[in-house]
């Protein structure tokens, strides 16, 4: 499915069902509940209809920490627009056949499929990742590649968006992927609002390679907050890495080290991501003319805006405006291109 397709249904909330399995990680269930299950009255828009489903009415969670009961059956996946598959406490153990059947049925009718951490093993066991891009936790990457050689594994990223199948690398990366889904469904402003509510970065560049075990550097004052805030107020200016380093009163090399340690990215990549996010907000708010949006966001030219926006969101500026730009005469309500799941 093209990234430019929307999974937002017409006339009802988008239904998200998370399958819970024996031994599932409760943190990832909490992530999905926080992102898709809690009401968001401050956003003044229909939110997701979130439910849990399982093959059994009661399940022991990871390490037997507690028992989850009163969970709906797997039939809840049969009308869900997005299905989140369970992570695996032992990913080399085959998932229950009923779970695999439910996931295959969801895929056959065009539902969006999502996995967190070792949940990629479930999608692969169901035969839904062959020839497709995916990721999983770095500790299981070699085992995954050996077990599922037909999957195009990308082991160094936080998440992979392959259109109608999306996979996150680990438990915390589930937050990254969840915010990305909200950004796809509702636009950058809404995703940013949710991320602020969570006190979590709306967009983390870099990949999970940065989290592989390594010595923690002993750095004195590592706070980047002042220089980040300063740069965010000047994105329309021709800022360079040297400008950021000068503002932070450090050398460019030191600035690179601090960005890598704290944000998992480079100063230039961070600047570009912030400029694309600003361009998205401008488009959502109705700013007309790609040249003007490019200039105000610091991306320079319409051609650069098109390339950067498509790389980061999977959408052209025209498609982004069509999905997330203000709908004339609707009091600022966001227009969303609807498609059946």
Average pLDDT, 10 consecutive residues per value, the chain (341 residues)? 49 91 90 92 88 92 87 95 91 92 97 96 96 92 95 89 92 89 88 81 53 39 80 91 92 91 87 91 87 93 92 84 62 28 25
* pLDDT tens-place string over residues 127-138: 999 999 999 998
DSSP state of 326: B
Cα(55)–Cα(123) distance, integer angstroms: 16
**Whole-model pTM above 0.95?**
no
How much is the pLDDT for 330? 33
Percentage of the chain exceeding pLDDT 70 = 86
* Relative orientation angle of helices 225-232 and 241-248, to the nearest 10 degrees: 130
DSSP class of residue 5 equals: -
Torsion of CA 116, 48, 129, 160, to 10 degrees: -60
Structural domains in the chain, CATH included, are 15-198 (3.40.50.880), 218-263+265-341 (1.10.10.60)
DSSP string, 175-224: HHHHHHHHHHHH-HHHHHHHHHHHTS-S---S-GGGGSS-PPP--SS---
Give the model's pLDDT for residue 165.
96
Query: Rounded to an integer, what distance in angstroms lies between the CA atom of residue 122 and that of residue 129?
Result: 10
pLDDT in tens, 82-100: 999 988 888 989 999 999 9
Q: What is the pLDDT of residue 10?
A: 63
Q: Which pLDDT belongs to residue 222?
A: 56
Residue 85 CB neighbour total at 10 angstroms: 29
Q: What is the pLDDT of residue 2?
A: 36
């Amino acid at each position: 499915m093209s990234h430019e397709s929307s999974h937002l249904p017409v006339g009802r909330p988008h239904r998200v069902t998370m399958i819970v399995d024996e031994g599932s990680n409760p943190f990832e269930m909490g992530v999905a509940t926080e992102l898709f299950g809690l009401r968001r009255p401050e956003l003044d828009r229909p939110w997701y209809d979130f439910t849990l489903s399982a093959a059994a009415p009661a399940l022991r969670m990871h390490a037997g920490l507690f028992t989850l009961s009163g969970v709906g059956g797997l039939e809840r996946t049969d009308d869900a627009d997005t299905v989140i598959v369970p992570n695996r406490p032992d990913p080399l153990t085959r998932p229950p056949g009923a779970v695999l059947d439910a996931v295959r049925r969801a895929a056959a009718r065009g539902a969006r499929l999502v996995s967190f951490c070792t949940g990629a093993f479930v999608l692969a066991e169901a035969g839904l990742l062959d020839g497709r891009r995916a990721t999983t936790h770095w500790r299981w990457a070699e085992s995954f590649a050996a077990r599922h050689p037909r999957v195009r594994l990308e082991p160094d990223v936080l998440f992979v968006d392959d259109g109608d199948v999306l996979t996150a690398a680990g438990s915390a990366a589930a937050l990254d992927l969840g915010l990305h889904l909200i950004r796809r469904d509702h636009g950058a402003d809404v995703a940013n609002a949710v991320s602020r509510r969570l006190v979590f970065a709306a967009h983390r560049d870099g990949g999970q390679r940065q989290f592989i075990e390594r010595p923690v550097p002993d750095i004195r004052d590592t706070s980047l907050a002042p220089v980040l805030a300063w740069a965010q107020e000047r994105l329309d200016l021709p800022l360079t890495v040297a400008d950021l380093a000068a503002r932070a009163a450090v050398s460019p090399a030191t600035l690179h080290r601090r960005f890598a340690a704290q944000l998992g990215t480079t100063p230039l990549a961070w600047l570009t991501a912030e400029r694309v996010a600003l361009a998205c907000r401008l488009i959502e708010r109705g700013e007309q003319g790609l040249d003007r949006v490019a200039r105000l966001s610091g991306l320079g030219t319409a051609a650069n805006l098109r390339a950067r926006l498509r790389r980061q969101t999977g959408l052209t500026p025209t498609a982004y405006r069509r999905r997330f730009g203000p709908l004339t005469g609707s009091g600022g309500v966001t227009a969303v291109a609807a498609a059946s799941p």
